[in-house]
Amino acid sequence: MHVTIGNTTKPGGSFPVSEVFDYYECTNSLPQTDSSTPDDCAKAFRDILATYPDVHIVYIGYAVVTTVSFNVAKNAAEDSERIHIVDSQNVSFILILLFALLLEPREESF
């Protein structure tokens, strides 16, 4: 994801969250967001698969009908049998899954 704050666009996660709050306080406007590009997504998948050659990626998209990110990931994963794309169809599924995974004891650390 990319975030546009004023006239500057940055990759999501590349700046402190406080910058978003500061921008809102000064302008009374929220920053604009847009989806990752297909190249961004493909690079992320390639980097993960290269770093962890024995893993499969499960990408859980947030409701294909409300976001372009799902199709970006689906297109980026087309040539790989190790990337599995799932449409959650709602945000509640993702939150429940994440909560369940956080509660599950881990035998190995990542």
pLDDT tens column, 52-99: 999 999 988 876 777 788 889 999 999 899 999 988 887 777 778 777
- pTM equals 0.62
Residue 56's domain comprises: 36-110
* Alpha-carbon gap, residue 87 to 68, rounded angstroms: 12
The answer to whether residues 10 and 43 belong to one domain is: no
Per residue in 16-36, pLDDT (tens digit) is 989 999 999 999 999 888 878
* Alpha-carbon gap, residue 102 to 91, rounded angstroms: 17
Placement of tokens 């035998």 in the chain: 107
- Token reading at 88: 């959650």
The answer to whether residues 61 and 107 belong to one domain is: yes
The answer to whether residues 26 and 70 belong to one domain is: no
The dihedral through the CA atoms of 73, 75, 78, 79 has a sign that is: negative
User: Residue 35 contacts by C-beta under 8 Å, 6 or more apart in sequence?
Assistant: 1, 2, 67, 68, 69, 72
The answer to whether residues 40 and 30 belong to one domain is: no
**How many domains would you assign to the chain?**
2
